[in-house]
Structure 1
Amino acid sequence: MLRPLLVVTAQELRTRIFDGTALLVALVAPVLLATIFGLALGGDDPPLRATVGYVDLDGGEFPASVRGEMAAAEELKGVLTLRDLPTREEARRQVDDGVIGAAIVFLPGFSQSVGAGRGGEVTVLSSPEAPLAGVLAQAVVDRMSALVEARTLAVRASIAAGVPGAEVQAFVERNGANGPALGLSADSLSGGKVDLAVYYGTGMAALFAFFVAGTSVRGLLTERRLGTLDRTLVAPIPPWTPALAKALVGFGLALASMCATWASSVLIFGTTWGDPVAVLALCAAHAAAAATITMLVASRARTESQADGVIMGVSFVVAFFGGSLVPLHNLPEFLQKAALLTPNGWISSGLIELAGSGGGIASVTAPLGVLCAIALVAGGLSAAGLRRGLTR
């Protein structure tokens, strides 16, 4: 049973390679398009920028100290621009007009209230049009709240211990109860950056896997029309041999196409798709899903032109909704959820996870499992369809 399959598969592979279409569709087209997209749109995601207004209506030492530490924070250099504003109303106007993204407002008497152990009030003005600025401003206020709480507790404890009111501030500072320094973590701003050349490289690889597999399995319809399939089935071989051979060739060429696009992305742009073993596993699972889905189309189609039209339509639909043509994070939220209904969405999310996090195969078990499940279901349905009607 294995020998006839190998012979038919080898013959099909030779035919595909010598007619030239396999090399064009599997290697030249995806590599060329991925390179063009990478050159035109590649590079890291645009750098993060935020302008935050600073309104000090208190005039005390604490607001001035916070501003100085924000301006000096290494992790915010090149990210945060502070703009001093005279009033809360002016800050609100500039936030509404989009001049600044957010504003931090210290109300009058803030320092005096903190020094007396009563805490203090700080207002954050933000706009949904500039979420990063709002996140930064709120992060500063959250950290500052910890400082104020520590200072308040220290002042109350000092007063309860009998320290004279005039000496409380000096006592608190002398005993190091000012609270921790204002430190801002860059973790929420970093991590997960992926070169756009990787997005478009993986996208072209996933898209052309369908085209490559489709051109192979449609050959079944051509052979049925010409009568060569009937003659092949007369030979003493299992009846499923021709279909399985074409599916294997489609899978192999689709995987080779994805690996060629992967290699070109790494060599040309110096990018990384992540752990090689995990990337190869995802590519193999997606190639299997593409081969079985196109085989399912061939099992239901009546003519080659019908199969070509359906395969092309399916390829572009799953490519668009699956993030192969547009990065997933640029799609609306409901389309990001719809992407999980497509094999392209799963391989896109898996490869982005590998490239962004540096994780291994354990980090993409869900995409691998779903892609394998898609391949099994589509393979079973196509086998049933081929059994019923391919030779008619």
Structure 2
Amino acid sequence: MVTVSALELRTRLRDGTAIVIALIVPVTLATLFGLALGGDDPPLRATVGFVDLDGGEFPASVRREVLASDELKGAVTLRDLPGQEQARRALDAGEIGSAIVFPAGFSQSVGAGRGGGVSVLTSPEAPLAGVVASAIVDRISAVVDARTLAVRAVLRAGVPGDEVKELVERNGAAGPFLSLADDPLSGGKVDLSVYYGSGMASLFAFFVVGASFRGLLTERKLGTLDRIRAGPVAAWVPVVGKGAVGFALAVVSVCVCWGSSTLIFGTTWGEPVAVFAVLVAHVLAAAAITMLVASRVRTDAQADGVIMVVSFVAAFFGGSLVPLYDLPEPLRAVALLTPNGWTSTALTELAGSGAAGSIGAVAGPIGVLCAIAMVAGGLALAGFKKGLLL
């Protein structure tokens, strides 16, 4: 197998097209797309419903803080709604992406040290609005908890009720007050150069690894495959030997795309170990799919055509050419049938979370990619055993 792999590698490197397909073209296209279309994405726009059944100072303060927040300015719009039922109808109709509901008596309950609960209504159709509303309510909860504990402590100390508010505020638990110093949208922005860099890497992984399996068909046509099999060589050696070279070249290709994107645009794809694991899993799935194609077609010309169609269809529906959020909802569901869709989802998650994203956060997509590789690889081996090549 080592001899077959060495011969395949020498042949691929001697043929200049291998370098072009594996390195030059994907890096060039990713760079051009990134320069033309780079920038923070997706567009940060969210409409959050605001239901104030309390009418007290606390909800009014929250409103002032949200509207004054530099982080949310131009990105978040508050829409007043008279009640929770109206908020639900607006949410179902897509008029708002989420809603914050302050119940009646909220300010009085917090001021008396009894705490209080704020409801958040979200929709899976508008995840950004849900993130914003949840971040705001998390801050409200922290303020309420601090205020409640302070009031209870003062009351237990025997301070008269009419002096509680002044004493609590004088000792640093003034409320209502909401700080949005941290950006609740941080971690949600992904530069388009990351989309297109990973997209080109995912697309050309099919071409790079597919060239090796296509070579099996070429050698069968030229008769060299029969001469290899005539020697003391196991039947699986040509397939594994060529496949190993294609896999290695594809891994190098996706890693070069990753590195060039990071160096040229100064962006991050996320935590390196997790990114590498996703890329390797994608190449594994691409190798299995192209091997399946080689086991089913009869000529190298057919293999070229089918691999090209499969590659571009998977790239389009999987978010490699068009970001997934730009696709209609039905097509976003189709994306999860492609390895590119899972790769794009995983890399977007890692790029959005930055260094905080661990391999555990993308274990699901990696598992799906490996499952695709196992299924496609198993079908390919079944095709080879039927005598199409071996």
Q: Shorter-chain TM-score: what band?
A: 0.7 to 0.9
Aligned position for 2:271: 275
Q: Can you list the C-alpha shifts for 1:127-146, whole angstroms capped at 9, x where unaligned?
A: x9999789879988998999
TM-score by length of 1: 0.73
**One-letter amino acid of the counterpart of residue 212, structure 1:** V
Alignment of 1:63-82 (within 5 A): 68-77=64-73, 79=75
Structure 1 position 39, deviation (Å): 0.6
Q: Which residue of 1 aligns with 2:305?
A: 309
User: How high is the TM-score relative to the length of structure 2?
Assistant: 0.73
Distance change in 2, residues 1:374/1:70 (3 Å)? closer
Q: Which moved more, 1:353-362 or 1:327-336?
A: 327-336
Given that 2:140 and 2:178 are in contact with CA atoms closer than 8 Å, whether structure 1 keeps it comes out as: no
Q: Does 1:183 find its partner at 2:178?
A: yes
In 2: Cα distance, 1:318 partner to 1:254 partner: 17
Where in structure 1 are there 5+ consecutive unaligned residues?
Answer: 89-94, 105-110, 116-127
Is the partner of 2:190 in helix, strand or coil? coil
Structure 1 pair 338/73, CA: closer, same or farther in 2 (3 Å)? Answer: same
Equivalent residues, number: 369
- Counterpart mapping for 1:21-36 below 5 A: 21-36=17-32
Q: What's 1:216 paired with?
A: 212
Quote how far apart the aligned CAs of 1:226 are: 1.5
Alpha-carbon distance, 1:38 to partner? 0.7
CA RMSD, Structure 1 to Structure 2 (Å): 4.7
| Ranges in structure 2 where 5+ consecutive residues have no aligned partner | 83-89, 91-95, 101-106, 112-123
Q: Which residue of 2 aligns with 1:389?
A: 387
Seen in structure 2, the aligned counterparts of structure 1 residues 144 and 243 have a Cα distance that, compared at 3 Å, is closer
CA distance in 2, matches of 1:341, 1:30: 23
Percent of aligned positions that are identical: 64
Q: 1:251 aligns with which of 247, 252, 255?
A: 247
| Match for residue 8 of structure 1 among 1, 4, 25 | 4
Instruction: Indicate conservation of the 8 Å contact 1:75/1:184, yes or no.
Output: no
How big is the shift at 1:373?
Answer: 2.2
- Among 146, 150, 174, the alignment partner of 2:166 is 174
Matches within 5 A, 1:1-392: 5-45=1-41, 48=44, 68-77=64-73, 79=75, 173-174=165-166, 176=168, 180-183=175-178, 185=180, 188-357=184-353, 358=355, 359-391=357-389
**Aligned equivalents of 2:347 and 2:135: distance in 1?**
31
Given residue 388 of structure 1, which amino acid in structure 2 is its aligned partner? K
Tell me the distance in 1 between the aligned counterparts of 2:99 and 2:386: 69
Structure of greater Rg: 1
How far apart, CA to CA, are the structure 1 residues paired with 2:125 and 2:341? 28
Any conservation in 2 of the 1:140–1:184 contact (CA below 8 Å)?
no
String of CA shifts for 1:211-249, please: whole Å, max 9, x gaps.
Answer: 111122111111111211111111111122112111112
Task: Give the deviation of 1:71 after TM superposition.
Answer: 4.4
Does structure 1 conserve the Cα–Cα contact (< 8 Å) formed by 2:132 and 2:185?
A: no
**Offset from partner CA, 1:169-194 (integer Å, 9 cap, x none):** x7675355998323165564332322
Q: Distance in 1 between matches of 2:291 and 2:21?
A: 18
Distance 1:371 1:130 in 2: 27
